[in-house]
Amino acid sequence: MGWVRRVLPRRTLCNHRTKHGAQCPFIMNRLHRLLLAGALVWTFVTCLIFLRIGQIRLQELMRSEASVRSRISSNNEVLDRIKLWKQTASASRNGKEVIATLVLACDRVSVKRTLDQIISYRPSRELFPVIVSQDGYHNETSALLRQYQKEHGFAFIQQPDQTLLTKGITAIFNIEGYHRIARHYKWALTQVFERLEHTAVIVLEDDLDIAPDFFEYFASLLPVLRGDPSLFCISAYNDNGKPWHISRSPDMLHRTDFFSGLGWLLTRELWQEIGHRWPKSFWDDWIRQPDQRRNRACVRPEVSRTRTFGRKGVSEGQFFDEYLRDVRLNEVFVRFSTMDLSYLHQHRYDRAFLDIVSKSWLYSLDVLKKGGLRKSPAQITYKNESAFGQIADFLRIMKDFKAGVPRTAYKGVVSIYRRGIRLFLVPEPWEFKRRLQAAEKNLADEKLLDLRPLY
């Protein structure tokens, strides 16, 4: 076979199989070496890629951490300066309680409109300090807020945590914005109550107009809130506050079981009660739940002291054109500080409210639709949420219930105006009436408050 080896090259020899049918050992070894080399190269390249990605991510994380630390440090400096200012100025306020105003901003430079109105209507820097909290780092808005900080003494802080809050299946419902709002509220209120140690705060958002007597309204009602444990907040807003649904009396005030938001005042005591269990999203619906409200009411105005101009936001203009755009903003300065507001205390208000609603003229929905309301005050009854919705649709008022409470309702009763007539929408049966009448014997000697001038 020597001549075969001399004539045939090694590659040809290796194309032959052994007598047992196996591949030539030489070609097998070469394939193994090639596969091993390929695997090593692939592993090396993959490691380089992941190492590079890891380095990039590490650099990004380090930059983010540095940015967050810088902003936290800046926030702390601002908060410490405000706290020191509070300590040195507290002796010169004539015993009046300081009410902080917290403006929650994000990425709308139109917040300028709200801030300019605060400057115009705020009676005192000392009694109404302003803290503007921004969620995120929208550069144009940040620059604007720093300008107001410099020129008008507003405190400017930034919520530093910008991590995504919705992942996986929750992300498809497009509710990230609602999670961010809830997180921002909790963080900002924590700074105001726990770091700055304010005892009361008015909460505003960056798309609200305010009335000329906005600060007078809240300052005058804070003692009412503190003096009545059956109240938990003061609201500036009437959800059914369109011109054709309200009285012309700008000094008219009501109790309501419905929490409106859109400009409201709360105390440190309420924050200490609910702040530690603040929800991850939809904070306003959460605060309306029985576990938070605990049968307590708010005070609201007949004529709103705030009005939203933010058609586009997290809710993407939901209900704006139909329900929010035409709400009337009060234009008359009412000196609430000269008025006796004790009629809003529950033990006085409830009996008088029961009296005036019970004595109102009863009409049906059919009569209402035919324009048959003639006497004031009037009432129409509803048996359930569906029946209420039919009445609300005809009147073009908000028909939704939150935690079983219609908007603006007190003890289930919604109060509006209809062509100059005070109209009550009353649940049937009216459980509040039965309970209060059963307790009347304990209140028989107390003079009944007359609410007729208010209605």
Q: Which residues contact 129 (CB under 8 A, 6 or more apart)?
A: 82, 98, 100, 101, 155
Domain that holds residue 434: 351-454
What does the pLDDT read at residue 222?
99
Q: Would residue 148 count as lying in a domain?
A: yes
Domain finish residue from 343, 364, 382: 343
pLDDT under 50 in the chain at which residues?
A: 1-20, 66, 84, 87-88, 91-92
What does the pLDDT read at residue 438?
74
Instruction: Report the alpha-carbon distance of residue 231 to residue 293 in Å, rounded.
Output: 9
Q: Would residue 78 count as lying in a domain?
A: no
What does the pLDDT read at residue 88?
39
- By the 8 A CB rule, do 343 and 227 touch? no
Query: Does the annotation count 291 as an active-site position?
Result: no
As for how many domains the chain has, the answer is 2
CATH number of the domain bearing residue 159: 3.90.550.10
Structure tokens at 346: 């529950």
Looking up tokens 């603040």, which residue turns up?
Answer: 278
What does the pLDDT read at residue 84?
47
What does the pLDDT read at residue 300?
99
List 284, 321, 326, 400, catalytic entry: 284
DSSP-assigned states of every residue in 334-383: --GGGS--GGGSHHHHHHHHHHHHHTSEE--HHHHHTT---SSSEEEEES
Q: Would residue 362 count as lying in a domain?
A: yes
Nearest to 250 by CA among 212, 224, 223, 207: 212
Asked whether residue 201 falls in the same domain as residue 240, the answer is yes
Asked whether residue 373 falls in the same domain as residue 229, the answer is no
- By the 8 A CB rule, do 121 and 212 touch? yes
CA 50 to mean position of chain CA atoms: 42
Domain finish residue from 276, 311, 343: 343
Cis-peptide, bond into residue 160, ω within 30° of zero = no
Asked whether residue 146 falls in the same domain as residue 220, the answer is yes
